[in-house]
Amino acid sequence: MANEAGHDQDLYKKRIPIFPRSVKGKFRSLKWSILFLAYGVYFLLPWLRWEREVGPQQAILFDIEGRRFYIFDLVVYAQDIFWLAGFLIIAAWLLFFVTGLAGRVFCGYFCFQTLWTDVFMLLERLIQGERPARIRLFKSDWDANKVFKIGLTHISWIGVAFLTGLSFTLYWGDAPELVSQMVTGDAPFPAYATTLFLTLSTYVMAGLAREQVCTYMCPYARFQSAMFDRDTLIVAYDESRGEGRKGRQKLTKALKDIDVRHEQGYGDCIDCGYCVQVCPTGIDIRDGLQYQCITCALCIDACNEIMDSVGYPRGLIRYTSDKVLQGEKTRIFKLKNIGYVVAILATSIALVWSVATRDVLELAVNQIRQPLAQTLADGRVQNSYELKISNKGTHTTRYRITTEGIDFGELDLANFDEVSIAPEKNLRVMARIRANPATVEQSKTLFHFVVTPLNQTELKPVEHEAWFYIPQKQLEK
Ligand code: SF4
Ligand code: SF4
């Protein structure tokens, strides 16, 4: 496309490749620890076995076909899906709270994109070497060495991406069985499709797109600034210290001593560029807070390493707030933060209470409406109901079915008043109530079906309301 001056101009900015340098420091170590923990949980959890009286022996299993999720001892049914809503609400509150308090720590330490890109960069570095070697390789002509190193890098990325995709698939079926089915070609098609999709997306996102995902694709990068305020913790370059009166200055023999630098008006930044070289998004933190910054704090480690080597105090780049940089005090205890804490606690307590007090016995009543009321040969009126009793517990349970609030009616369950239901099963029972119109005063009577567990005394009976109808003309006879 031509611009106003008539020159050809690309619609999209060409990506400038980034070759981050490795760095050592406490934030890098913290990030590795979180990464090992996250990978350990993600890759090993599908293989963790779990003893259950009924159901699969896998600790975490999302059984789509059976419409239930197994999470250790908790079995989540389709109708419990509002727990997921509760969980997502808590996650959203937590994200708002943490972002307001500590900026984009989620991006820098916990986001999948960061965790997987870190490993892909590590593989790249192990195969191709440190930053200068990678730049040289990138600029060199294609030869056997370049083909080998670049090829091996991509193969290793695809290997990690495949393990990632496969592990995700294993959460949706019995892991050992699913793996053997996939090897023999007997696995269901969605298992192959999911693995392939996750393999490709991981390879593209963490291997090829990398920082572009954070910069252009992630919506959080765009709206997180709405949660920031002047008290929010950010990774910041201390400009007044780094620049002094005359600006940053390279380290020379004459300008090595910090006091001499200060006397001559120079700041503590020796303009070594290490903070820029380690940045996974390729930005210069000395230009101020930028939306591309994922707050990974690697530039803090880099600058601290430089400060140590020249004998200057650490913290030229550090976690701080805008207020501190302006000589004010950071305020944590303010209405917004307290409000978030209250909201998180209230929603968490409600969710835990809902899970802890969940019913393992469920009763649904559906009145048969065609016909709503039937007049029998002996003059009595009959209403019919379909009862659905679900045993969501882990033991076979016997139940007695009775009614309350309809003394004039006779309950007919087809010659039985007790049923036995296996764990995780449900049973449909046809119930009929008959009454002599002469004993009934109104055309509509509200009553309850009651289902009482018999062999598990710790379980409470459940009730469900229903209506008994008698046509008005029957009452008037
Ligand atoms: S500027 Fe620093 S904290 Fe921000 S992304 Fe780059 S290295 Fe990480
Ligand atoms: S690492 Fe520190 S000293 Fe070096 S350029 Fe960055 S801010 Fe300046």
Instruction: Convert the pLDDT of each residue in 109-152 to its tens digit.
Output: 999 999 999 999 999 999 999 999 999 999 999 999 999 999 99
Residue 20 is predicted with a pLDDT of 97
Q: Which atom of ligand 1 is nearest to the CA of 284?
A: 1
Amino acid present at 291: Y
What mean pLDDT is predicted for residues 276-286? 97
Distance 280 CA to ligand 2 centre (A): 16
Per-residue pLDDT of 85-97, as tens digits, reads 999 999 999 999 9
Q: Does the pLDDT value for residue 477 go beyond 70?
A: no
Distance (Å, whole) CA 289 – CA 127: 33
pLDDT band at 434 (very low <50, low <70, confident <90, very high): very high
- Find out whether 477 and 438 touch, Cβ atoms under 8 Å: no
Does residue 308 sit in the same domain as residue 390?
A: no
Atom 4 of ligand 1, nearest CA residue: 293
pLDDT for the residue numbered 222: 81
Q: Quick check: 218 pLDDT over 60?
A: yes
Ligand 1 atom with the shortest distance to the CA of 294: 5
> pLDDT tier at 4 (50, 70, 90 boundaries)?
low
**Cα distance between residue 136 and residue 140, in whole Å:** 6
Q: How many structural domains comprise the chain?
A: 2
Give the pLDDT mean for 370-385. Answer: 92
Tell me whether residue 320 is in a domain.
yes
- Residue 470 lies inside a defined structural domain of this protein: yes
Closest Cα to atom 7, ligand 1: which residue? 279
Instruction: Give 342: exposed, middle or buried? Use CB within 10 Å, 0-12, 13-18, 19+.
Output: exposed
Mean pLDDT lowest for which of 6-10, 308-312, 334-338, 355-359? Answer: 6-10
In a domain, 78, yes or no: no
- Find the residues whose C-beta lies inside 6 A of ligand 2: 237, 242, 269-275, 286, 302-303, 306, 316-317
Q: So what's the pLDDT on residue 2? A: 59
69-78, 133-142, 261-270: the lowest-pLDDT one: 69-78
Average pLDDT of the chain is 93
Residues in contact with 321: Cβ distance below 8 Å, sequence separation at least 6, in sequence order: 230, 231, 232, 233, 234, 330
Structural domain includes residue 420? yes
Q: Based on the domain organization, do 373 and 425 belong to the same domain?
A: yes
The finding on whether 294 has its CB within 6 A of some atom of ligand 1 is: yes
Percent of the chain with pLDDT over 90: 79
Tally Cβ neighbours within 10 Å of residue 183. 9
Residue 353 lies in a domain: no
Q: Please give the number of the atom of ligand 1 that sits closest to the Cα of 300.
A: 2
Question: Does residue 46 belong to any structural domain of this protein?
Answer: no
| Atom of ligand 1 lying closest to residue 278 CA | 7
Q: What angle do CA 364, 367, 373 make, to 5 degrees?
A: 160
Contact (CB, 8 A) for 9 and 282: no
Shared domain check, 382 and 276: no
In the predicted model, is pLDDT for residue 3 greater than 70? no
Q: Is the model's pLDDT at 99 over the cut of 60?
A: yes
Average pLDDT over residues 208-213: 94
For ligand 2, the distance from its centroid to the CA atom of residue 319, given in whole angstroms, is 15
By C-alpha distance, which of 164, 6, 90 is closest to 354?
A: 90
Tell me the per-residue pLDDT of 396-428, one tens digit each, with 9 for 90 and over: 899 999 999 999 999 999 878 789 998 888 899
CATH assignment of the domain containing 416: 2.60.40.10
Please indicate, yes or no, if residue 334 is contained in any of the structural domains.
no
Q: Indicate whether 115 belongs to any domain.
A: no
**Average of per-residue pLDDT across 146-161:** 98
Q: Which of 286, 305, 308 for a ligand 2 pocket mutation test, highest count of atoms within 8 Å of Cβ?
A: 286
Q: Give me the domain span that covers residue 262.
A: 229-325
Residue that is last in its domain, among 304, 325, 346: 325
Give the number of other CB atoms < 10 A from CB of residue 267: 21
Give the percent of the chain with pLDDT over 70.
Answer: 98
User: What DSSP line would sit under 410-467, residue for residue?
Assistant: EEE-SS-SEEEE-TTEEEEEEEEEEE-GGG--SSEEEEEEEEEESS-TTSPPEEEEEE
Q: Are residues 379 and 320 in the same domain?
A: no
Residue 269 CA, ligand 2 centroid: distance in Å: 5
Residue 285 alpha carbon to ligand 1 centre in Å: 7
User: Is residue 306 domain-shared with residue 370, that is, in the same domain?
Assistant: no
Q: What is the largest CA-CA distance in the chain?
A: 116
Question: 8 falls in which pLDDT band (50, 70, 90)?
Answer: low
User: Is the distance from the beta carbon of residue 299 to the nearest atom of ligand 1 less than 6 Å?
Assistant: yes
- Asked if the model's pLDDT at residue 1 lies above 60, the reply is no
What is the CA 424 to chain-centroid distance, rounded? 27
Q: Which residues are CB-contacts of 184 (< 8 A; sequence separation ≥ 6)?
A: none
Mark whether 379 and 462 lie in a shared domain: yes
469: its two tokens: 């109808």
Pocket test for ligand 1, best of 299, 301, 304, 320 (most atoms within 8 A of CB): 299
Strand bridging mode 462-469 / 444-453: antiparallel
Confidence band (pLDDT; 50, 70, 90) for 158? very high
pLDDT digits (tens, 9 = 90+) for 352-366: 999 988 888 999 999
